[in-house]
Amino acid sequence: MRKTIAAWSDYHQGIVLAAIGAVLFSSKAIVIKLSYPYGPTAETLLGLRMAFAFPFFLMVLHWFEKKPKPDMQLKDWLQVTLLGAIGYYLASYLDFLGLQYITVGLERVILYLNPAIVLLLSAIFLRKRITPMQFAAMVIAYIGVVFVYWHDLSVSSDGLLIGTLLVFGSAISYAIYLVLAGEMVERMGSIRLVVYASTASAVCCVIQALVVDPPAMFIQPLAVYGLSLVNATICTVVPMTAVMMAIKRLGSNVASQAGAIGPVATIFLGWFFLGEQITWLQIIGTAIVVTGIWLLVQAGQTSNNLHNKKASAST
């Protein structure tokens, strides 16, 4: 009886942690949008975010990483640097640029397509087979994006296409990071890899900000520094830690499904903090995307179970 209660407790804790992580990750777009009226560029905001986040990432590594430090060769450091440049620096930069043109609701829905993009990249570059159910789930998800895009087009078409392409480029960049990181995660541990890659990204972001506009990081209004600190901690480090703790309790599949609240929450956060409109078209589109990604996760889980059964039978 006690074991059952403890198991349910872990499950519920994991669901809550995954939901909190998804909502806080989604609120990053809100903070960025609130920062732009003060005049900073995307480069400056990104540099401040990563500069503030860096010491907190080191704290997360110290508190949560239990694996022994691996023996890192020059090749390993170069790989981690490349992953950080692609998965955190480039993905974040394109996202920050895109948010100058599109609503936070459309931004979060596009980024939520990440599992579908990972599947496509794996099929193209790693020759992994896409099952009919996975393909159907991807089609459903992308149809949902069309609905949300249509909503934004009805509100304002200024810069909508370029903003959408920039954020979609961000999603592709992060998907590339996930595909390439698989082998290194096994050897280094997810937390250490995230911290090392984030450190490389922080260096890239700060250097870019100083090259583009050297004094900009030091002359911003106090509000920009406050919002950047919120972005670095509450919208970056805290949700990352919450999601890691959720995965430990639930596994990655269930944790990702619980994260479906993210796109939905973003719509209402955008309405509350930014005055963005909410329409049935947007809600329906978001629901379709969430459904498509949920089906995609289910299809992937079924495929893995069948693969494991075949492997067990062969032995």
Burial of 129 (0-12, 13-18, 19+ CB in 10 A): exposed
Q: Name the pTM for this structure.
A: 0.88
pLDDT (tens digit, 9 = 90+) per residue, 193-247? 888 999 999 999 999 999 999 999 999 999 999 999 999 999 999 998 888 888 7
The answer to whether 246 and 18 are in contact (CB under 8 A) is: yes
The answer to whether 223 and 38 are in contact (CB under 8 A) is: yes
Q: Please state which of the ranges 27-31, 33-37, 179-183, 266-270 shows the lowest mean pLDDT.
A: 179-183
pLDDT (tens digit, 9 = 90+) per residue, 128-138? 888 899 899 99
- For tokens 């480029």, name the residue: 169
In angstroms, rounded to a whole number, what is the distance separating the alpha carbons of residues 3 and 9?
Answer: 10
- Give the pLDDT band of residue 11 (cuts 50, 70, 90): confident
User: Quick count: other Cβ atoms within 10 Å of Cβ 265?
Assistant: 19
Q: Where are the domains of the chain?
A: 10-314
Q: Estimate the crossing angle of helix 104-111 against helix 261-274, to 10 degrees.
A: 160
